[in-house]
Chains A and B, each alone.
Chain A
Amino acid sequence: MSSHVRARWGALALVAALGFGACSASATQAPAAGGGGAAPAGSAAGAQAVDYSSVSPSTTIGKNDKAAVTGAGSTAIYPWLSAVAQIYQQQVAPGVAVNYQAIGSGGGISQFTAKTVDFGASDIYLSDQQEQQIGVPVLNIPMIHWAAAMTYNLPNFSGEIRFSPATIAGIFLGKITKWNDPALAADNPGVTLPDIGITPVHRSDGSGTTMNFTSFLAGTDATWKSQVGAGLSVNWPVGPGGKGSAGVTALVKQTPGAIGYVELSYALQNNLPVGSVKNAAGNFVKPTLASTTDAVAAAVPNAPADLRFLVVNPPASYPNAYPIGASTWVLLYQDYPASKATEVKAMIDFLWWAIHNGQNYAAQVDYSAMAPALVTKAEAALKSVTVGGKPVLP
């Protein structure tokens, strides 16, 4: 038994190392970078106006739980999930080990479909077809958020560039090819933009950041919607692709005139120049942890009950919301077999803690917390989980 557990931890350590390599989100330095890195794009403290442990008192703290919980999927959720799992084990439930394999959303969905893990995690919710394939009712619960930040390389230019959605679509469709194009000039009155070519850089690997960036463009630009569409990987009309956030950043940094999108935590930790993007209210908003949580808050009132919704293009009633937000969903089965009762109780207790107290740690890894209104909906979803037909939570 103990050797089995040890082997598992060995596997976790290995997967953790691979996960860092794959998502390249520099999560190892996250806690230290949280303060310093947040400076260029707004204060991290802004996102923490709410103490999530008090949103709703945690009725069940599973301090007597003893189980190893296994999950697999998204690399994006990994920095936060691993930090929160560690803190939960240290401070709340010493007997609960969360073994999360950051193998990518696609791998997570296939393992979840094959029922080899207790939970999955994906940067996009399950489609109707995928849910049918699983064959049993499932839950999609968004638990952490981030944003796609526009970063660029303009030599001898230190100001901030502002982009309207149509301009971004034009650039990535290959219609806007110069930085001094009238469309960019109109977005940036009073700014002298250089007469150099634009090289739009995208993520070559499948990515939740691409998913939300392309959903944002499909939601605002009809040409984009019909020609390219939205997905974890799409058929890019122009421009080179870099592997991972690190690959995109390297291409942007080395190519004068380049523009790319990277996940916000990566931009913050590497002090990349980021542009502001125009939202439905007509404001140009910088991507910050707070403006991303605002985008989540904006999306919640219209969110369907199954929580399958994107946090892009928030309505005009949220003037400070950044329009390209992103989520990672935790995937659960509605009902677990009775033989799994111990693991499932430990898992649900942990997730309950994660959507409350755990949200306080999001800023430490440069991620955005859930909006309080979403926490309430996630609570209801967690309460609906059953083991052998009986609810896990009171």
Chain B
Amino acid sequence: MTAQVGAVRAELGRHRPRFGEPAFRGLVVLASLTVLAIIAGLVVVIATTSMAGIAHNGIGFLWGTTWDPVHSVFGALPFIYGTLLTSITALILSMLIGVGVALFLVELAPSWLAGPLGFMIEMLAAIPSVVYGLWGIFVLAPWLRDYVEVPLHDTLGWLPFFSGYPIGIGNLAAVVVLTIMVLPTVAAVSRDVVSAVPGSQREAALALGATRWETIRMGVLPYARSGILGAGILGLARGVGETMAVTMVIGNSPTISLSFLAQGYTMASVIANEFTEATTNLYRSSLIEIGLLLLVVTLVINAAARLLVWRVAYTASSRSLAA
């Protein structure tokens, strides 16, 4: 034993390269700095090119509701509202479905079903977003109008959420498309988190006489909670930044409406729509300012979600300590 250790030491001593350690260290530091440099460069370019817009639009850009390139009046609120409305609603829906799928795959599904089903859900993430958009505009929107929006409007039209004239294209179609697009992220990450819960958690609950549901509720979910929230953050990031599919189905109308039947607009969509033909400096700069805002909104959402995860993880650990 001691002889073997000595042999290894001798081996290492003979062949240890003199510059290997610092070179490796330098390489990985460089890789990390590259990421930082890219982000810094991005922020600097976006901030400097949006200066003309910031100077002209002022702070009122944040709550202005008019977007009028002809008269150079630029307000971003409808886009901020549309982005948050669609991505948060889609996140809630996809969390409900995604966590359900994850629990089914890990806890209930027979293995011959769990494999193919998990694969299918991951396949959803591989479909290009323009395909979702085309499907949304040609298949989903007419179907939603005839079988969802018209009945909703006829029965619940007195609610502000379902007022207006149903045409298929609008906030609801955007939410449905986004939900489907966010779902694979939420479901796949949640599945990995749930399957990482140690078997001892389940065995302990079962040994105490818990049913399957009680085991999941008391043994599995509390353990996986922060991971599932993390899945939500990834999903939200996907939803906020999604451009093409949403542009094709949301109706591209900068209005602020509670109604899911109304048309809306998102920050990413207005950039995609108008950037190529923005022929004046101020106009282009205002669009880039929207991009800057989108960056800020994404950072705020991520920071808030990160805080939430920490808080949940902290409460969970203190509770288990107290118990």
List A residues at the B interface (Cβ < 8 Å): 22, 103-107, 109-110, 122-124, 127, 129-130, 133, 197, 199, 204-208, 228-236, 239-243, 247, 250-251, 254-255, 258
- Complex Cα spacing A266 to B249, Å: 21
Inter-subunit contact A205/B279 (CB<8 Å): no
Jot down 16 A-B pairs with beta carbons below 8 A, ordered by A.
A106-B275, A106-B276, A106-B284, A109-B279, A205-B277, A206-B279, A229-B71, A232-B69, A234-B70, A235-B68, A235-B69, A235-B73, A240-B253, A241-B251, A241-B263, A258-B167
Give the complex CA separation of A242 and B142 in angstroms.
15
Do A204 and B273 form a contact, CB below 8 Å, given A236-B253, A240-B251, A243-B252? Answer: yes
Answer whether residue B46 sits at the interface, using C-beta atoms and an 8 A cutoff.
no
Assess A206 versus B165: contact at CB under 8 Å? Given A228-B70, A247-B248, A250-B138: no
Looking at the complex, which one of B170, B251, B276 makes contact with A22 (CB distance below 8 Å)? B276
> Which 5 A-B residue pairings sit nearest by Cβ, starting from the closest?
A206-B277, A104-B276, A241-B252, A204-B252, A240-B251
From residue 258 to 283 of chain B, which have CB atoms closer than 8 A to chain A? 263, 269, 272-281
Contact present for B137 and A105 (CB under 8 Å): no
Contacts of A127 in B (CB 8 A): 280
Q: Cα distance A84–B280 when bound, in Å?
A: 30
Roughly how many angstroms separate A290 CA and B85 CA in the complex, as a whole number? Answer: 48
Residue numbers in B under 8 Å from A231 (CB-CB): 69-70
Asked if B161 lies at the interface with its beta carbon under 8 angstroms from chain A, I say no
- Whether A199 contacts B167 in the complex (CB less than 8 A), given A104-B277, A109-B279, A242-B252, comes out as yes
Tally of A-B residue pairs with Cβ under 8 A?
106
Residues of chain A within 8 A of B141, CB atoms compared: 254
- From A199, A207, A235, A251, give the contact of B165 (CB < 8 A): A199
Are A255 and B70 in contact, CB atoms less than 8 angstroms apart? no
Partner of B274, one of A133, A205, A228: A205
Is the beta-carbon distance between A235 and B67 smaller than 8 angstroms?
yes
Bound-state CA distance A106–B280 (Å) is 8
Find out whether the CB atom of B273 lies under 8 angstroms from the CB atom of A241.
yes
Interchain CA distance A45-B66 in the complex, whole Å:
46
Give the distance in Å from the alpha carbon of A235 to the alpha carbon of B276 in the complex: 17
CA of A380 to CA of B280, assembled, Å = 29
Contacts of B275 in A (CB 8 A): 106, 206
Cα distance A42–B94 when bound, in Å? Answer: 51
